[in-house]
Structure 1
Amino acid sequence: MKNILILSILLLGTISQTNAQLKLRTPEGKIVLLFDNGTWKYEEIKNVEKPVAQIKSAEEIAKPLVIIDTELESQTVIKGISEKLNKFSDTNNQVKADFQIISIEGKVILKTNWKIMDAEGFRFFGFITKKSKMLFSLSNGESIELQYAEDFEPKEYPKYKFTTFAAELELNEDQIRKLQNAYLEKVEMYWSRRTESYEIFNPDYFVKELPKIIK
């Protein structure tokens, strides 16, 4: 049985040579290690910890906010498994959100670009509406709610099997201070058709990005 599995991987996967073994990549992207004694195992994925930005002092965060006009780069902040999509696929089950902060004339806009790995995202998630919100759990034990103020329709890409939701909201002064005072730990997204929890990919996003728009 093992020989059949190994042969299948050899036929369908990509092969590379390591010290005393063969390293193969399956069509699903997993790495399989084949040893000289005929045994095999999946390669362990080691998580590389990224440096985390330091939180400023309470006194520094409490200072009056003077917002400068600027447009920051988009970054991936949320990346996790959708409980709903996971019921149908072990691979196309991810939800991702890129954030971008734009400040102009004293207003701070948070643009959120969601990507759902489903060609018909509307059927499961619906729209982002005025009732939609992101509820973040923070590292200091608190939570913060970011509410959308408008309705946004999804854009579906059947050929590429994903759906995007481009939406935005405005951050007020209290939210700006609170987001600088803790790291993101988890998020609950309230779509029009369901609520799901997702993992945070970039926990110090607001801690490192918000100071860039403050004079």
Structure 2
Amino acid sequence: MYFRRKFIAMRIFYAIAFLLMLLVGGKVSAQIRATTAAGNKVLLFPNGTWKYDEGQTIIDTLPNPNPQPQQAAVAPAPAAKQASWSMKIDSSRVDSTLKVQIIDVSSPRLARFFGEEKGRMRCSAECVNEKGVISIRLEWAAAVGDANRYFGFMRDVKDVTFVLASGQELKFQYNPGFKDHFFDNYNISYYNGSVTLTKNEIGALLSSPVVRIDMDWKKAPEEYDVKDTEYFMNNLPKVL
């Protein structure tokens, strides 16, 4: 009888011990490792509590209070390329085109004194090849006896600018020898000068009409609209 009771007591002891092991094992297994949407590793417990895993702190996982905005990458703009023209020019040729009037407009300065009709500025042009040197001759005419009184003495080399329809501007300096001629008896003044062209300038004039010519008179510059805008496109090839 004694041994039977002892045997039953031992079975009860082992059963209690087994239950305790199950409870302890269940408690340990209840600690679930998980990863949040923000990438933080945490331990979850059955009672609804949690803590950060692997030594992470709250400070480490808080969002940056001053996030830096990400700037979209901008592709660099392609570098502007200057047109380079290659053309054959006859270096043995001496020739010029006919002189053609390309400007006939009111001069703002002359119109103040003589009105719109009498105060006009006219300009004629011709293209020239002198043994491979390509140039443009310009002859300005004003209906006054001594235009220097209104435009100033032009003995110094001055600038003239061709404005193309493409928006490009070709700025030249007159070659030495710019001349003026005054005819008081006929009430007219002439200015004659020439500019030399590079191959790139020739190419630009062949590719786009000239819509305006700006003359740098000594007293005051003036701008003149060109009436025969395609004159250089049509006539430069004749002397090349």
Q: Do the two structures share a fold, i.e. TM-score over 0.5?
A: yes
Q: Which residue of 1 aligns with 2:165?
A: 139
Bigger-Rg structure (1/2): 2
Q: Does 1:66 align with 2:89?
A: yes
SS in 2 for 1:160: coil
Q: Contact 1:125–1:191 at 8 Å: present in 2 too?
A: yes
Structure with larger RCO (C-alpha < 8 A, sep 6+):
1
* Cα RMSD (Å): 1.8
Q: Which residue of 1 aligns with 2:108?
A: 83
SS in 1 for 2:111: helix
Between Structure 1 and Structure 2, which shows a larger proportion of helix residues?
A: 2
Q: Which residue of 2 aligns with 1:95?
A: 121
Q: Contact 1:136–1:188 at 8 Å: present in 2 too?
A: yes
Q: Contact 1:130–1:151 at 8 Å: present in 2 too?
A: no
Which whole-Å CA distance do the structure 2 matches of 1:212 and 1:206 have between them?
10
Pair 1:151–1:63, CA change in 2 (3 A): closer
Matches within 5 A, 1:103-122: 103-122=129-148
**Aligned counterpart for 1:176 among listed residues 189, 196, 202:** 202
The gaps in structure 1 that reach 5 residues or longer are 1-60
TM-score (norm 1): 0.66
Q: Which residue of 1 aligns with 2:217?
A: 191
Q: Contact 1:85–1:94 at 8 Å: present in 2 too?
A: yes
Between Structure 1 and Structure 2, which shows a larger proportion of strand residues?
A: 1
Size of the aligned set, in residue pairs, is 154
Q: Contact 1:129–1:148 at 8 Å: present in 2 too?
A: no
Q: Letter of the aligned partner of 2:219 in structure 1? A: R
The gaps in structure 2 that reach 5 residues or longer are 1-83
SS in 1 for 2:114: coil
SS in 1 for 2:108: coil
Deviation per CA, 1:132-170: give whole Å up to 9, x if none. Answer: 122122111211112212252421111111100121221
Q: Letter of the aligned partner of 2:220 in structure 1? A: R
Q: Letter of the aligned partner of 1:166 in structure 2? A: N
Pair 1:100–1:193, CA change in 2 (3 A): same
Q: Does 1:160 align with 2:183?
A: no
